[in-house]
Each structure stands twice: as structure tokens, then as C-alpha cells.
């Protein structure tokens, strides 16, 4: 299939795979035909990668994650296979608009935010590095909901990415496992045997994940829940049509939706079922592969590194013990040790309310054998420890964080600060018992998607300046350092940013009907809406700025466009209030003729990976303003820095490491540190004090209270104002004045265009460390003990496109 040029291949697929023809083909048909033509170019290397892995008996990485926020796949494949020019020519030759064809693809939004996007970046880096790996997750029929606004309020509708033909996946009819729930444990021949009551089939769907230059491809294997038995013909023949379809509908429920919340536990039986379903199917698959390749079971840790992305797959501990001990007769202690040798756990949050806990009753009714094994694991762990101070259960609940910790040989945090706080807070006692277990692996992002592909103007300039090596060795961006004083380079750098901003301005006008000045500062906060991320701090500053401009319209104001995007969990009332407030404020400010030359506020609906790719290259200022100690790492912050948007931010998560690298002069720091946050909370009336001390803050709050932004419903934001001036747990008020001052420093810096572009370019040149390739190398060395397999095999494998000559 690789012996023809891309244009011929597209036409062949259009005709023979889609049964369409060029005269009648829709954009969708062309996109699928192109996807299949591109897919043909990677299949052979995908197979070669698994052959090479088997040939050397290599250890594999298994990345278990409830979420993979992969976004669009076609463009990623084109870029990684280096087919940009060929695809461009083929499409224009066929009379098509390449951008429109590529943007026809719906985002695969199988994740909520940072955690899921991290998993997607990791998969790409694993393939780029040539590390044998599988990603395991759930093939949600409906990914994260689609967001729109009605009178400023968030409206959620189902996302139906799978209603379109999905060109990237392969259904593996031969890879399916029966998964059980409920039932009871009985003694049979002196052994406990679990008889499940309910069963569904886990059906595998594989998507190839191609690395840079197409040299290696791994598999993302997603499980779909299907009924055990087909359709009930008897009932159907009796006329019971709905009842005949019932088992199917019930089974499918498990992979129907992604829970739209990644920070608070959903006390839902279905959620626990989902977790067990995909974790247990993945372990079944891992053991099947291991056993097919041969070897003593105690050697499993030499062949399988199983990473748990957060606690969602933490049931892997007891399940693997069950598979080894109950089903394969390994002694319990050995089974626990073997499981622990394979498993490692990534913690993503320190917020106690976000650490998963399941009631023992639910666990017992859904997974009775696992509940017993959790107690055995707990007892074994307690027996090792003289103080017996940590327990996996308590208050009638199973603590999944503790369970994951105890069953893992390594536990990692996702930024230096987060790892440090983990040792001091949530896992303080466990850390004392196991001082070598916690390690840090600061997050990263893939430079292929987030710089090379998303920002062709800047990546072209970088390649012209330092060559192409940076794409798989991002720290080579340091070689831009000498150019940071070269006016010609800085001109070109600024021109790339200006052109990206002009594109965004055109798009905002065309798609959203808002006019913005591309020379204004594009100040961008895009991420999930959450109180700890403090979008309300940002909008308060906008209100205060608006008031200042109104009071002095002749002043020397630096024009700003504040752009927000992000979804709120449907059940998170306060976050939805923040969205509505921002939209209400935007409506008033944008239509104020006195100020709208200087200030615009825009909330873009339906934030997703594609929107991030559009906004980040066109951003001037990156808002990373969480309450210190609350953001585990952040990865959005890294994407912005890489694309030359300096950060205004707190000392939180990876902001700390970004600032260390880009330099304090190129980062607008403000606000309390994590330690100061704790101390401040103890001050009685801290919010009232802060409000009394800052007339801008009290003015902004007064404006909200008196209904300036909700004229027909003056009390709409009474709750928001009461929260901010009362408990203000996230210390919006206490950080307001420092934030305002930092924003004015940013204004002054932006007004000096030469200084600003140097600052922006510094951010690009010094952010190379934030590549997910670096993060993956860290996991390989510190946690997984795996090596890349690619070396030596490149020759044997088809370089993509080589067939063209």
C-alpha cells in the first residue's frame, strides 16, 4: 500500500474503501480517504515495532489511564510521518482546502483536562523514543460533553465523536475478555473462589500511536463494554422488543460516558465499575501476552512496567494479586511482591476531597473478593510496620490513594513542589515508612504537537536558526540563546507571533463575531474552570481595570484582550457561576464605547485540544494563577512558555520550575507561596481585610453586587460575592493586590515592544526541558527500568515515504 503516491492512494480509498467518487465526495469522505491513505503509511512500522519487541523479549510499559485526551489524529500522523508537503500538494491538486479537510476531524475528547492530555503526550513520546508500550483505557462512546452558552450559562450536550467513521482504530475481535461484578466468594477445595453475578465483555479497539519520523508506533488499546450474549431472539419473537435489547443496553452503559469531573470523587457505582472494567481487562491482556511469550510468573516485573495514572486504576493492586494468587496459585506474599514489582502510581492531587475513596459496602457488593484481598494486603503491610499507623480502610471506606501507594514500588508526583508537598502532607506517614518510594517526574508536553505542528511559523524560524534537531531533543532550543540579542531573529520571532495573532483575530471575527486588535496584548487563561485555578481572580482584575479606564479614558492604557476558555463539571455549581459571570462581564465591557478600545473579554465555548492548538501560538500572556499548593503541575503553562507567552503566575506546580529556567525577569510572579497560603487561612477575616485594604478590589466586588453585569437580576451573584468576601478558601481577595500589580508590570513590559519580544523568545529558548520526552526518560530510569528498542532496527524498518524513491 505504500507503493503509490498519496494522491493516488487517496483516490483509491475514496473509490474502493468508501465507495464514493470524486464528483460526489463530501469533505468528510475526503478526510476519511486521506486518513486511510496516511494510515497505510504507518501500519508496517507499527507491526515492525511489535515484532522487534518480541524478538528481543523487551520489557514493555503499560500505561493505565481512565483518560486519553488525544485530540485530532490525522494532522499528528501527517506531521510525524513528515507528509505535510505531500499531503498539501495532493489535496490542493484535488481542488481541496487542506486546512478545512484536516479540521473536519472531530476531537477525540476522551479526557477532562491535564491528566488525560498528559497520557496522550506520554504515548506520543514513548513512540518517539522507541519504547515498547501500550496505553490502556476506555473507548467512551461519548467523550467529554460539548459546551455551549445560553445567556452566558454553560449548556452541556453529548459529544458524539464516534457517530462518524473513525479511521484510526481497529476492532480486535480476537481480543475480548469476560469481566464480572458482584456475586459472592465461596470456598471450593479449600480455596476462595469468586462467582460473579453480572458479566460483560471487554472488547479491544486498537489505535496506532506514531512517533516522530514514523520510526516506531505503539498501541493505544481502548476497551468497549459489550453484552456477553447477543440478542435475545426468544424475547424478540414474543414481541418483547425493548426487553430483548436490554442486556445490550445495560452492558454498553459501562463505556458510555466519561465522567466529566477529574477532581472530585463521583460516588457512583458506575464509576467504580468503569475503573474495574478497564483495569481488569488490561491486566488480563498483559498476563495473556506474558504467558504466550513464556517465562516464570515471578519474572513478570522484568517484563511489565504498569503505570497507574492517578488512583482510577488502583484496583489493579488487588486484581493482579487475585490473578496471581487465586487463579495461578502463587503464594499470597509472593503475589503481593510480584504485583508491587510491576506497579507504580502517579499522584495528581493533594486535595483531600479529590483523593478517591470507596465505601466498603460498595466495594464488597461489587468486588467481594477484592475487598477481602484489600484486607489481606492491609494486614500484610501492617505486619511489616512496627507502628501500624497506616490503614487502607477506615470510616467504612477504602482509601484508594493509600492502596495505590502500598501496592506500588514507586509513587511519583508531577512537579518538584507537588512531590515535596506530597511527602509532607497526604502521604507523610507512608513516606516515613517507605522513604525511597516517592520520586518526582515533572510533567512535560510533546513538542511535535505543541510546537512543531501547532505553530508552524515559529517552528520554521527555529529550524532555520538551529536546524531540526530540536524536534526530538527539545533542550537544543538553548542554541537559540545567542539569537536572543540578534535584532533580525527577534524581528522574525515577533513577526511570527504577530501573524499568529492576526490569524486568531480573523477567526474570532469569522466564528464568534468579535473584533479584536491584533496589536493588543492577548492575555489567555484556558483550562478547566475550578475555584483553585482562580478564573474569578482574573475577571475581578478585568472589572477593576475597566473601572480604572472609565475613570481616566485619556490614560495611557495598554490594550488587552482577555481570552478565557474551559469547561466546568456539570455538577460544580460555583464553577458554572464563574463562567456565567465572565460572560456577563464580557457583554457589558465589550459594548462600552468608552473602554472597548482598551479592553475586551472573550469566553470561547467548548475548550478542547484543537482550540488550545489555535490559541496558544497566538498568546502573549499565560495566566497560571492558582492558589499556591493546589495545582499539582500544570502542563498548559509549559505549552505557553514554549510558544513564547511569558507567564503571570504564582509559585505553584511546575510554574516554579518554569520560572527557574526562563529566569525571574521573564516571568510575572505574584502572590503568596504555599506556606504563606496556610498561614493566611488562619487569619480571621482575611478576605474582609484584603477588601478593606484595596479600593480597586472593593470597587470591583461592589460593581458585581449592585448588578452592573446582571441588570435584570441584580442579586444573581450574591453567592459569589458572599463566598469571596467570606470564607474565600482559595484566597482570591488576599492575592488580588499582588495580582493587580503584576498585571501592571506586564503592561509596562508589553509597552516596550523590544523588551517584550526578547522576553517571549527567552521563554521559548529556555523551555526545552519541558518536553514529555524528558519526562518519559525520567520514568524509564527511575521507575520502569526499561530501555528503548528502536536502536539498530531503524535500518530494518521502512522509513516512511521511502518507497517514493
User: By the criterion CB under 6 A, which residues form the site for ligand PLP?
Assistant: 69, 113-114, 117, 527, 607-609, 612, 634-636, 639
DSSP letters of 528-553? ---GGGTHHHHHHHHHHHHHHHHH-T
Rounded CA-CA distance 145/157 in Å is 6
Contacts of 14 (CB under 8 A, 6+ apart): 20, 21, 22, 25, 29, 30, 33
Measured from the CB atom, the residue of 112 and 338 that comes closer to ligand PLP is 112
Rounded least distance, CB 352 to ligand PLP, Å? 20
For helices 695-705 and 732-751, the axis angle rounded to 10 degrees is: 110
Contacts of 672 (CB under 8 A, 6+ apart): 628, 650, 680, 731, 734, 735, 738
Rounded least distance, CB 114 to ligand PLP, Å? 4
Measured from the CB atom, the residue of 348 and 423 that comes closer to ligand PLP is 348
Rounded least distance, CB 729 to ligand PLP, Å? 19
Q: Per the residue annotation, which of 60, 72, 348, 580 is the catalytic one?
A: 348
Q: Per the residue annotation, which of 13, 176, 639, 790 is the catalytic one?
A: 639
Rounded least distance, CB 632 to ligand PLP, Å? 9
Chain mean position to CA 227: 30
Q: Where are the beta strands (DSSP E) in 73-158?
A: 108-110, 133-138, 146-150, 153-157
What is the total residue count of the chain? 805
Q: Per the residue annotation, which of 399, 418, 528, 758 is the catalytic one?
A: 528
Measured from the CB atom, the residue of 459 and 608 that comes closer to ligand PLP is 608
Number of other residues whose CB lies within 10 A of the CB of residue 706: 11
The DSSP bridge partners found for residue 622 are: 524, 647
Measured from the CB atom, the residue of 528 and 580 that comes closer to ligand PLP is 528
Which residue in the shown chain puts its C-beta closest to ligand PLP? 636
Rounded CA-CA distance 548/206 in Å is 56
Coil, strand or helix at 458: helix
Coil, strand or helix at 312: coil
Number of other residues whose CB lies within 10 A of the CB of residue 51: 12
Instruction: Decide: 480 and 764 in contact? Cβ < 8 Å.
Output: yes
Rounded CA-CA distance 347/310 in Å is 5
Measured from the CB atom, the residue of 348 and 580 that comes closer to ligand PLP is 348
Rounded least distance, CB 509 to ligand PLP, Å? 23
Rounded least distance, CB 674 to ligand PLP, Å? 17
528 is catalytic: yes
Q: Residue 644, by phi and psi: left (phi above 0), alpha (psi -120 to 50) or beta?
A: left
- From residue 95, give the alpha-carbon distance in Å to each of 22, 23, 82, 84: 10, 11, 22, 17
Q: Per the residue annotation, which of 533, 547, 562, 580 is the catalytic one?
A: 533
Give me 740's grid cell: 493587580
635 is catalytic: yes
Rounded least distance, CB 735 to ligand PLP, Å? 18
Sheet holding 170-181: strands in order across? 170-181, 198-210, 217-226, 133-138, 60-64, 304-309, 343-346, 410-413, 438-440
Rounded least distance, CB 608 to ligand PLP, Å? 5
Q: Per the residue annotation, which of 139, 527, 560, 567 is the catalytic one?
A: 527
Measured from the CB atom, the residue of 53 and 643 that comes closer to ligand PLP is 643
Measured from the CB atom, the residue of 241 and 507 that comes closer to ligand PLP is 507
Q: Is beta strand 153-157 parallel, antiparallel or unpaired with respect to 146-150?
A: antiparallel
Rounded CA-CA distance 170/254 in Å is 20
Place of cell 488525560: 116
Using alpha carbons only, what angle is made at residue 279 by residues 276 and 280, rounded to the nearest 5 degrees? 75
Rounded CA-CA distance 216/126 in Å is 9
Measured from the CB atom, the residue of 493 and 769 that comes closer to ligand PLP is 769
Q: Is 634 exposed, middle or buried (0-12, 13-18, 19+ CB in 10 A)?
A: buried
Rounded least distance, CB 638 to ligand PLP, Å? 8
Rounded least distance, CB 643 to ligand PLP, Å? 12
Rounded least distance, CB 420 to ligand PLP, Å? 19
Give me 523's grid cell: 492575555
Q: Is beta strand 304-309 parallel, antiparallel or unpaired with respect to 68-71?
A: unpaired
Give me 187's grid cell: 470456598
Chain mean position to CA 638: 13
Give me 528's grid cell: 478547566
527 is catalytic: yes
Q: Is 347 exposed, middle or buried (0-12, 13-18, 19+ CB in 10 A)?
A: buried
Measured from the CB atom, the residue of 431 and 630 that comes closer to ligand PLP is 630
Give me 279's grid cell: 483495569
Measured from the CB atom, the residue of 338 and 643 that comes closer to ligand PLP is 643
Measured from the CB atom, the residue of 501 and 533 that comes closer to ligand PLP is 533
Reference 438, options 323, 576, 346, 557; nearest CA is 346
Rounded CA-CA distance 177/278 in Å is 10
Q: Where are the beta strands (DSSP E) in 453-576?
A: 521-526, 560-565
Rounded least distance, CB 740 to ligand PLP, Å? 22
82 is catalytic: no
Rounded CA-CA distance 526/524 in Å is 6
Rounded least distance, CB 117 to ligand PLP, Å? 4
Active site residues: 348, 527-528, 533, 635, 639
Amino acid at each position: 500500500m505504500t507503493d503509490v503516491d498519496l494522491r493516488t492512494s487517496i483516490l483509491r480509498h475514496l473509490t474502493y474503501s468508501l465507495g464514493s467518487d470524486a464528483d460526489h465526495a463530501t469533505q468528510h469522505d475526503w478526510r476519511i480517504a486521506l486518513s486511510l491513505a496516511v494510515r497505510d503509511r504507518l501500519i508496517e512500522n507499527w507491526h515492525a515495532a511489535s515484532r522487534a519487541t518480541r524478538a528481543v523479549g523487551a520489557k514493555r510499559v503499560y500505561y493505565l489511564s481512565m483518560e486519553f485526551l488525544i485530540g485530532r489524529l490525522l494532522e499528528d500522523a501527517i506531521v510525524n510521518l513528515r507528509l505535510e508537503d505531500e499531503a498539501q500538494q495532493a489535496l490542493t491538486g484535488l481542488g481541496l482546502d487542506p486546512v478545512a479537510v484536516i479540521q473536519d476531524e472531530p476531537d477525540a475528547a476522551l479526557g477532562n483536562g491535564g491528566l488525560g492530555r498528559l497520557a496522550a503526550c506520554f504515548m506520543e513520546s514513548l513512540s518517539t523514543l522507541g519504547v515498547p508500550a501500550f496505553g490502556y483505557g476506555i473507548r467512551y462512546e461519548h467523550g467529554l460533553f460539548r459546551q455551549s452558552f445560553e445567556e452566558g450559562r454553560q449548556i452541556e450536550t453529548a459529544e458524539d465523536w464516534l457517530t462518524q467513521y473513525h479511521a484510526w482504530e481497529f476492532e480486535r475481535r480476537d481480543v475480548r475478555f469476560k469481566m464480572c461484578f458482584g456475586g459472592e466468594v465461596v470456598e471450593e477445595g479449600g480455596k476462595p473462589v469468586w462467582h460473579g453475578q453480572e458479566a460483560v465483555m471487554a472488547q479491544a479497539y486498537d489505535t496506532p500511536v506514531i512517533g516522530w519520523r514514523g520510526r516506531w508506533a505503539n498501541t493505544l488499546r481502548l476497551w468497549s463494554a459489550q453484552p456477553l450474549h447477543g440478542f435475545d431472539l426468544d424475547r424478540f419473537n414474543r414481541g418483547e422488543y425493548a426487553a430483548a435489547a436490554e442486556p445490550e443496553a445495560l452492558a454498553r452503559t459501562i463505556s458510555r460516558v466519561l465522567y466529566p469531573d477529574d477532581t472530585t470523587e463521583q460516588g457512583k457505582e458506575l464509576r467504580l465499575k468503569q475503573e474495574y472494567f478497564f483495569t481488569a481487562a488490561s491486566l488480563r491482556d498483559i498476563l495473556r501476552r506474558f504467558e504466550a511469550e513464556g517465562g516464570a510468573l515471578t519474572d513478570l516485573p522484568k517484563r511489565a512496567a504498569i503505570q497507574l495514572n492517578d488512583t482510577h486504576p488502583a484496583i489493579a493492586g488487588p486484581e493482579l494479586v487475585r490473578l496471581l494468587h487465586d487463579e495461578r496459585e502463587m503464594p499470597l506474599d509472593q503475589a503481593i511482591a510480584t504485583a508491587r514489582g510491576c506497579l507504580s502510581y502517579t499522584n495528581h492531587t493533594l486535595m483531600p476531597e479529590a483523593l478517591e475513596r470507596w465505601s466498603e459496602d460498595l466495594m464488597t457488593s461489587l468486588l467481594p473478593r477484592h475487598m477481602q484481598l484489600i484486607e489481606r494486603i492491609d494486614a500484610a503491610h501492617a505486619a511489616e510496620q512496627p507502628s501500624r499507623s497506616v490503614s487502607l480502610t477506615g470510616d467504612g471506606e477504602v482509601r484508594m490513594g493509600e492502596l495505590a501507594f502500598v501496592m506500588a514500588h514507586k509513587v511519583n508526583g508531577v512537579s518538584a513542589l507537588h512531590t515535596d508537598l506530597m511527602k509532607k502532607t497526604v502521604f507523610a506517614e507512608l513516606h516515613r515508612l517507605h522513604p525511597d518510594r516517592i520520586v518526582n517526574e515533572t510533567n512535560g508536553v510533546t513538542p511535535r504537537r505543541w510546537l512543531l505542528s501547532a505553530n508552524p511559523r515559529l517552528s520554521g524560524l527555529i529550524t532555520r536558526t538551529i536546524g531540526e534537531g530540536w524536534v526530538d531533543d527539545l533542550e537544543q532550543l538553548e542554541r537559540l540563546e545567542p539569537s536572543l540579542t540578534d535584532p533580525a531573529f527577534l524581528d522574525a520571532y515577533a513577526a511570527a507571533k504577530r501573524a499568529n495573532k492576526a490569524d486568531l483575530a480573523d477567526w474570532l471575527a469569522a466564528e464568534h463575531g468579535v473584533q479584536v486588535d491584533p496589536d493588543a496584548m492577548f492575555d489567555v487563561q484556558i483550562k478547566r474552570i475550578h475555584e483553585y485555578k482562580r478564573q474569578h481572580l482574573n475577571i475581578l482584575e478585568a472589572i477593576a481595570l475597566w473601572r480604572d479606564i472609565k475613570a481616566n479614558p485619556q490614560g495611557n492604557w495598554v490594550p488587552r484582550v482577555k481570552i478565557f476558555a474551559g469547561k466546568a463539571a456539570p455538577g460544580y455549581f460555583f464553577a458554572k457561576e464563574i463562567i456565567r459571570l465572565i460572560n456577563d462581564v464580557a457583554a457589558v465591557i465589550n459594548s462600552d464605547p468608552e473602554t472597548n478600545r482598551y479592553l475586551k473579554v472573550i469566553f470561547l465555548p467548548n475548550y478542547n485540544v484543537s482550540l488550545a492548538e489555535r490559541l496558544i501560538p497566538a498568546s502573549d500572556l499565560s495566566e497560571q494563577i492558582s492558589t499556591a499548593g493546589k495545582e499539582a503541575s500544570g502542563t498548559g503553562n509549559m505549552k505557553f512558555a514554549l510558544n513564547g507567552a511569558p507567564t503571570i503566575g504564582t509559585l505553584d506546580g511546575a510554574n516554579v520550575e518554569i520560572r527557574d529556567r526562563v529566569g525571574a525577569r521573564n516571568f510575572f510572579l505574584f502572590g503568596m507561596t504555599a506556606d504563606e497560603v496556610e498561614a493566611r487561612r488562619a487569619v480571621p477575616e482575611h478576605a474582609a481585610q484584603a477588601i478593606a485594604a484595596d479600593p480597586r478590589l472593593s470597587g470591583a466586588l461592589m460593581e458585581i453586587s449592585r448588578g452592573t453585569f446582571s441588570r435584570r437580576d441584580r442579586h444573581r451573584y450574591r453567592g459569589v460575592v458572599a463566598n469571596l468576601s467570606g470564607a474565600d478558601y482559595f484566597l482570591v481577595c488576599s492575592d488580588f493586590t499582588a495580582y493587580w500589580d503584576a498585571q501592571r508590570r506586564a503592561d509596562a513590559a508589553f509597552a516596550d515592544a523590544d523588551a517584550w519580544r526578547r522576553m517571549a523568545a527567552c521563554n521559548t529558548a529556555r523551555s526545552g526541558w519541558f518536553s514529555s520526552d524528558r519526562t518519559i526518560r525520567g520514568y524509564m530510569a527511575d521507575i520502569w527500568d526499561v530501555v528503548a528498542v528502536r536502536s539498530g532496527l531503524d535500518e530494518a524498518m521502512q522509513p516512511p515515504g521511502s518507497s517514493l524513491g
